[in-house]
Amino acid sequence: MKVAVMGAGAVGCYFGAMLARHGHEVVLIGRPQHVEAMHGSGGVKLDSKAFASVILVGATTEPAGVEGADLVLFCVKSGDTETAGRAMAPFLKDTATILSLQNGVDNSARLQPLLRQAVVPAAVYVATEMAGPGHVLHHGRGDLVIGASAASESIAVQLSAAAIPTKVSDRVVDQLWAKLVINCAYNALSAVAQLPYGRLFDVDGVREVMRNVVEECAAVADALGVALPNDMYASVVALVTAMPDQYSSTAQDVARGRPSEIDFLNGYVVRKGAELNIPTPVNLTLHSMVKLKELTHAKSEGHA
């Protein structure tokens, strides 16, 4: 199978490397510093829970890298969905399947109108970060739940054979929302405090904040016909034990001075809540706090 990864950051590099390691032809499309590093080292450096290796992959900065791919792992930031979709559209072959491995719940719906190929949403469960140019650290998990499509069962078999456990669900929206709730509970707090998950509960009141976030998200989800687990709050709290040293992707973006995806996490819940006349004051507060952090960094950069 020929695979292209559009937006090869930590998540895309990890899954692309795993597929290449198991014999698939992989092209990573990413930032210049990562592409240059991979050209220099002969591949992507992956430090996983099970092994450390440099894995041979193709690498380019150009969206034309998707040409000929049977499967495109679409991993760009949520705010770049439409721009990246339009950029790669002319190069996709008709039979390609695009798998959206993105944070948030509406990326595939925003991408599909731009493409004639099938866009399949996926809930991603992996903890990764870029340790340097072309260098991925894998902290835990690495499994997917993907939506139903004509090609989904075949894709799931091939991904699972490449040590990427994958299930197909015709209710993947429920998994996407469950992940969204966890992101809404942790990402902003980790970003504002610049602390890993395991340290957040050191402060009195954080558990109550997270509980309120979960309740607001659940109210919006219920109004949209989404079925969340009954123990959603317990799942949120359990993440501290599972990933105590993990910083949220939003925390990593803020630390590096990059735009975060907070508009598509807490911000999305706030917008949907407003449409449905459901109050979401805690999500609004967390969203605003991250936007202020981004503004502060932008101003400091402007005065540098």
State the span(s) of the chain assigned CATH 3.40.50.720.
2-169
Write down the pLDDT at residue 304: 42
Taking the C-alpha atoms of residue 72 and residue 8, their distance in angstroms, rounded to an integer, is 11
**Residue 294: pLDDT above 80?**
yes
| Among the ranges given (29-38, 102-111, 239-248), the one the predictor scored with the smallest mean pLDDT | 239-248
Q: What is the pLDDT of residues 108-154, one digit of tens each?
A: 999 999 999 999 999 999 988 899 999 999 988 999 999 999 999 99
Taking the C-alpha atoms of residue 100 and residue 95, their distance in angstroms, rounded to an integer, is 16
Which of 16, 55, 8, 53 is closest to 32 using CA atoms? 8
**Which residues, at least 6 apart from 205, have a Cβ–Cβ distance to it below 8 Å?**
none
Write down the pLDDT at residue 140: 86
Write down the pLDDT at residue 31: 95
| Among the ranges given (95-99, 190-194, 294-298), the one the predictor scored with the smallest mean pLDDT | 294-298
In this prediction the pTM is 0.93
The three state secondary structure string of 102-122 is CCCCCHHHHHHHHCCCEEEEE
State the span(s) of the chain assigned CATH 1.10.1040.10.
173-302
Classify domain 2-169 by CATH number.
3.40.50.720
Domain 173-302 fold is N-(1-d-carboxylethyl)-l-norvaline Dehydrogenase; domain 2 (1.10.1040)
Q: What is the pLDDT of residues 18-74, one digit of tens each?
A: 999 999 999 999 999 999 999 999 999 999 878 999 999 999 999 999 999 999 999
**Residue 297: pLDDT above 80?**
no
